[in-house]
Amino acid sequence: MDQLSAMQTFRRVVDLGSFSAAANQAGVSHTVLSRQVKNLERHLGTQLLNRTTRRLQPTEAGLLFYRHCVQILEQMQAMRLELSEHQQQPTGTLRLGVSTAFGELELGRWLPDFVEQHPGLHIELNCTDRFIDLLEEDVDVCLRVTDHLPDSSLIARHLAASEVVLVAAPAYLERHGAPDTPEALVRHPLLGYSHLQHPQRLRLSSAAASQEIQMPRRLSANSPMALRAAAIGGLGIASFDRFIVQDALGDGRLVRVLVDWQLPARKLHAVYPQSRYLAPKVRAFLDYVQRYYAAPRWGH
């Protein structure tokens, strides 16, 4: 029995919670992985997994073995990387997850420079507005702009603050008038992002007060880029991360609304699986985006 391969299989099954997910990631059949773990249990003389119809759960012995597996496999990975050319020059495929808006509007500003600095890397982009499972979908790093990160074993590195602004098209404000107080917003339709828990609710604050406003909804969408197009088209008022509308504010297609009031800012994070040793390609990427976003990028 190839004990190292069996340990890798066991770790993958525990991380992903099922043989099916582990088999899909490894590109082999469910039967092959199940047989490997059974042979490992026979070799060790103890049961490692409690198998149910819904999910696999490590036994007490399985948890102990899992901790040793993680330590041994990461030490082996570190040894291989230290002995290879990868330690000097990042190579291979970097799987990167981003939102659709970030992919369309931000990556073009800095990704070409990063790729030029690391010609041995191939970038594989996963652009989606849903929160993906990095382990199940085999993504190395995900860039997320959010006001809340779910609890998980992932590492989240803060890169930058993302200002949220309230905007509308000049033509819309000419037809309907520009609101001069938060209370006046209730007479205007909101273009709402449907992935938010409360798409019609805005929390506004100034130096002296804070208010929560419920706006009537004219349009909701699960795509920030579709909402951006609707706002530019004059359908109503919308709130966006500034990077989504920075160019439209710059050329006058959109203008700020209630500039003396602020919406809660969000944060840009780089999220990646926890590991004692980062692959050079991941470390190079994290260091690059940390340096890039250390300088303010989404100005007023």
Give CA–CA dist 6/52, Å, rounded. Answer: 21
CATH number of 169's domain: 3.40.190.10
> First and final CA of the chain: distance in angstroms?
62
Tell which of 38, 57, 83 closes a domain: 83
Residues 33 and 176 in one domain: no
Answer whether residue 70 shows pLDDT above 70: yes
Give CA–CA dist 207/140, Å, rounded. Answer: 41
Is 29 within the bounds of a domain?
A: yes
Answer whether residue 267 shows pLDDT above 70: yes
Residues 75 and 90 in one domain: no
Q: Give the mean pLDDT of the chain.
A: 87
Q: How confident is the model over 183-223, as pLDDT tens digits?
A: 999 899 989 887 776 667 788 998 888 888 888 878 888 88
Residues 178 and 239 in one domain: yes
DSSP per residue, 197-258: SSTTEEEEE-SS-EEEEEPPEEEEES-HHHHHHHHHTTS-EEEEEHHHHHHHHHTTSSEESS
Is 245 within the bounds of a domain?
A: yes
CATH number of 65's domain: 1.10.10.10
Residues 70 and 113 in one domain: no
- For the chain, how many structural domains are there in total? 3
Residues 243 and 282 in one domain: no
pTM for the whole structure: 0.68
Residues 53 and 192 in one domain: no
Is 22 within the bounds of a domain?
A: yes
Tell which of 30, 48, 83 closes a domain: 83
Q: How confident is the model over 215-247, as pLDDT tens digits?
A: 887 888 888 999 999 999 999 999 999 999 999
Provide the residue range defining the domain that includes 150: 86-156+270-292
Give CA–CA dist 61/166, Å, rounded. Answer: 55
Answer whether residue 74 shows pLDDT above 90: no
